[in-house]
Chain A
């Protein structure tokens, strides 16, 4: 059964968001990493890039396929996780911890209200 931490918000497209002040940390869920398996390559957006909610801004490649990752929120990328780029398997091992993707300064915090609660996300993935 996939882990769905209760202190995070979720996007239908399987990203998670952890909010600290006006900065959100974004990654992909345990369910997503489990479905992808064997992540071998992670491409992250450049720091300073402005992205809109729902915009494809990162790519995860497993042995089998390439998958776009969509930003759950709008804002400016402030920091990306070089450790995940250097060791993509980190996303498989620690999707909610060491395997985070990027930090983003929220331009529209109201968007957080439209993200899924842990229970709603659990229901979506059939957990």
Chain B
């Protein structure tokens, strides 16, 4: 039996086409992936992201525990701040990529991938048994729902959706006073919610986490207040094309337990100078000595079908790697993708071939992100 979010009935009413994703029944699109994608690039879109997992970590030892378990430096977080970070195994392979927020002194919220909740929680608990400090770990995934509202026009109506100043975490008079990666607790008609200025689309926007009834009310309010600004409900299809254009990794594609953050190109979120953490020695070696494979972005250089995951990548008649994400970019109206190749082929401008149904098509390695604003 697939899990359903508190917004399930809302998706049905909106005509959402539902698919299985990470054990959940989620909308892949309502009208058209391209239309929803362009709504986010040009105006606003709202996504149900209730399938994502939430873990709270608290106690006097919480920060030290997280700094030993995650790659980024958690000491940079004061109450109301969040950061992108990764959780690695002993070989530096990625167990998950996540957002860590400091809600108050010694209280942290981790937002993790839906498909990784069980693995992550088991890993965190195993690490916790080896940790002697004061620590409380709670998987609150079943308790929380969430939405993401994204796009350049969101800032014009989001304050109307959350009247009043924040009451916890980052204290601000209005939601739009939150800066990137900041999180604040706000009151809404059906209880408190956490609002962060974050997202997975490359656009300005916010993510809202709370209990089911509160998030359902937030979803309806945002759709109503955003309507004059062209907001559209958006499915996972647009979420994927948006993140691919700006080269944000998706677990199971760019990231897995046999791939390190350095190979994936997210080494910026690995803090080698913060002290010991799981996977550090391998990641330090890779930062110093280089990697054997690198995640590159590419655009197709001739008319062809869109690249897809697992299509082979060729250079000079030799198969050198594989596509991990690929689609037709709605913003650029061109085939785009991400793939792994040896570092000698990772330079922007390198000509590569993508094998699509037994035929090679020309593509060019480009700098990330593939899509840039303006």
Contact = CB atoms under 8 A, between A and B. Distances in A.
A112 interface: no
Interface in A21-66: 37-38, 40-41, 43, 59, 61-64, 66
A43 B34 contact: no
A64 to B, nearest CB: 5
B327 A63 contact: yes
Contacts of B241: 63
Interface residues of B, number: 16
A93 to B, nearest CB: 12
Contacts of A62: 33
B308 A40 contact: no
Nearest to A65: B308
Contacts of B105: none
Contacts of A38: 32-34, 328, 330
B328 A41 contact: yes
Contacts of A40: 306, 328
Given A59-B357, A63-B34, A37 B304 contact: no
Interface in B236-263: 237, 241
Interface in B17-48: 28-29, 31-34
Contacts of A64: 28, 33, 237, 327
Given A41-B328, A64-B237, A59 B33 contact: no
Given A63-B328, A63-B330, A41 B32 contact: no
What bracket does the count of chain A residues touching chain B fall in? 10 to 19
B305 A43 contact: yes
Nearest to A60: B305
Given A63-B33, A64-B237, A41 B306 contact: yes
Contacts, number: 36
Interface string B219-251: 000000000000000000100010000000000
A63 B357 contact: no
Contacts of B304: 41
B305 A61 contact: yes
Interface class of chain A by DSSP: strand
B22 to A, nearest CB: 16
Contacts of A37: 29, 31-33
Nearest to A43: B305
A66 B327 contact: no
A59 B304 CA distance: 12
Nearest to B28: A64
A41 B333 CA distance: 11
A98 B31 CA distance: 22
A40 B237 CA distance: 14
7 contacts: A37-B33, A41-B305, A61-B306, A61-B328, A63-B241, A63-B328, A66-B308
Interface of B: 28-29, 31-34, 237, 241, 304-306, 308, 327-328, 330, 357
Given A41-B328, A63-B306, A66-B308, 10 more contacts: A38-B33, A41-B305, A41-B306, A59-B305, A61-B305, A61-B306, A61-B328, A63-B33, A64-B28, A66-B305
Q: What are the 7 tightest A-B residue pairs by CB atom distance, in nearest-first order?
A: A40-B328, A41-B305, A63-B33, A38-B34, A61-B305, A37-B32, A38-B32
